[in-house]
A and B are shown apart, each in its own frame.
Chain A
Amino acid sequence: MSDVNTDYQIVAFCCQYCAYAAADLAGGLRLQYPPNVKIIQIPCTGKMDVLYALQAFEAGADAVMVAGCMPGDCHFLEGNLNAMRRVERVKDLLRQIGLEAERIKMFHISSSMASQFVSATEEMLRTVEKLGPNPLRMNGKASRKETHVRRVS
């Protein structure tokens, strides 16, 4: 494997039923995937909100992966289809903001596809290496900035 820049941070939202299981299986099979990937388990990619991705980027993530079931196989029927639309929306927002749309990508990985999970993470890492770190990061380190959301009833 080529030198991995351990400073890059990729956030991977993985659905519990498919992609997370695949990641788990990859671990069990001792398949190596880049240590830059931080996995966040969600019940379904349908839980993915546009805001989650924006918060990840604002906090300094260099890329965001959204990994869900194969179309037609979603445990909650259409969650992954909704996620695909939201990922497209995030791409539009990234372009507006001035970041590259390729920094977010949706993958469809079923629970037994451990090696596909690994290649997905490697693909995202290659993308980040090509694009460079998230320009929003300060001093080369990811900054944690609170997003200010206050609700008033």
Chain B
Amino acid sequence: MIIAEQKPFEEVKSLVGEAQKILVVGCGTCVTVCFAGGAREAAILAASLRMASKLDGDPKDVTDVTVQRQCEWEYLDTIAEQVNEADLILSLGCGIGVQAIAEHFPKAWVVPGLNTSFLGLPVEQGVWVERCAACGDCILGLTAGICPIARCSKSLLNGPCGGSQDGHCEVNEDIPCAWQLIYDRLKSLDKLELLSEIRPPKNWRTSRDGGPRKIVRPDLRLCEEE
């Protein structure tokens, strides 16, 4: 899922600026699971902004509301009235949610309360790690289910490089060497021969390098009225 973190409070305050009536919008999906922007976090941030602004001598009217997902128009419709009444929307959704609110309510001024970081999972409570680079051309079938694009710092397809030591990446001891992991797992599954094949250069067109992406499913589109 999408992993994000709250922006530092000082940065949020400066994004809010002079606005007087602020609506903090939480999101009930990914950012709830990573404890960055769910209902509780929205309530905490709203309370913090009310208290801080009062101490700064300029008390602001800050309310909060949380929708199931900010990234679907139908859920945003339910908060239309509150959005229209506010000077500024502080979205605690991921970057998609912030943009969805801005697009759905073009007259609203929307600012992000989070920094959206990566696609990943919680390996244990409180620890989230990156797993997928959304490259659009998944090769996990060749690498024993471990992604070298996301998990190798250099996105090598014929790794490891010479910087792999004791199972960790040269960049940082906290980063396991993806190619060591791939090697170990292929070895345990008796499929090391996959590593002698030379993988050709990746087609990056399907990833963000090819431009912003779009997927259309004609079978799912609603029929136009005749």
Do A and B contact each other directly (Cβ–Cβ < 8 Å)?
A: yes
Q: Are B46 and A153 in contact (CB under 8 A)?
A: no
Least Cβ–Cβ distance between B36 and chain A, in angstroms: 14
Determine whether B56 belongs to the interface, using a CB cutoff of 8 Å to chain A.
Answer: yes
- Name which of B65-73, B97-105, B115-123 contacts chain A: B65-73
Chain A residues whose C-beta falls within 8 Å of the C-beta of B39 in the assembled complex: 149, 151
Give residues of chain A (133-153) contacting chain B, Cβ–Cβ below 8 Å.
135-136, 145, 147-153
Q: Which of B9, B39, B47, B78 has the most CB of A within 10 A?
A: B47
Interface string of A85-100 (1 = CB under 8 A from B): 0000000010011110
Measured CA separation A148–B95 after assembly (Å)? 25
Interface membership of chain A positions 73-106, coded 1 if the CB is closer than 8 angstroms to chain B and 0 otherwise: 0000000000000000000010011110000000
Chain B's nearest CB lies how many Å from the CB of A139? Answer: 13
Interface residues on A, range: 20 to 34
Given contacts A55-B47, A153-B68, contact A99 B78 (CB under 8 A): no
Residues 175-220 of B at the A interface (beta carbon under 8 Å) = none
Contact with A along B22-60 (1 / 0, CB 8 A): 000000000000000001100110111011101110000
Among A58, A135, A148, the residue within 8 A (CB) of B63 is A148
Report chain A residues within 8 Å CB of B65: 150-152
B residues 76-96 near A (Cβ < 8 Å) are 78-79
Are B51 and A57 within 8 A (Cβ)?
yes
Q: A7 at interface (Cβ–Cβ under 8 A)? A: no
Q: Count of chain B residues with Cβ under 8 Å from any Cβ of A?
A: 24
Given contacts A58-B51, A96-B52, A98-B52, contact A148 B64 (CB under 8 A): yes
Question: Which of A51, A97, A149 is in CB contact (< 8 Å) with B52?
Answer: A97
Q: How far is the CA of A51 from the CA of B44 in the complex (A)?
A: 6
A49 within 8 A of B: yes
Cβ-neighbour of B44 out of A93, A98, A148 (below 8 A): A93
Q: CA–CA, A150 to B48, complex, Å?
A: 17
How far is B28's CA from A151's CA once the two chains are assembled, in angstroms? Answer: 10
Nearest CB in chain B: distance from A53 CB, A:
10
- B residues within 8 A CB of A149? 39, 43, 64
Contacts of A50 in B (CB 8 A): 40, 44
Nearest-neighbour CB distance to chain B for A92, whole angstroms, equals 9
Residue of B whose beta carbon sits closest to that of A55: B47
User: How far apart sit A152 and B68, CA to CA, in the bound complex (Å)?
Assistant: 8
- Other contacts beyond A51-B44, A96-B9: 15, CB < 8 A: A49-B40, A50-B44, A54-B48, A54-B51, A55-B47, A58-B50, A93-B48, A96-B52, A99-B51, A136-B55, A148-B64, A150-B63, A151-B39, A151-B65, A151-B66
- 6 A-B Cβ contacts within 8 A? A54-B51, A97-B52, A98-B51, A136-B55, A151-B65, A152-B66
Chain B interface (Cβ < 8 Å from any Cβ of A): 9-10, 39-40, 43-44, 46-48, 50-52, 54-56, 62-68, 78-79
Q: Give me the 4 closest cross-chain CB pairs, A-B, nearest first.
A: A148-B63, A96-B9, A98-B55, A54-B47
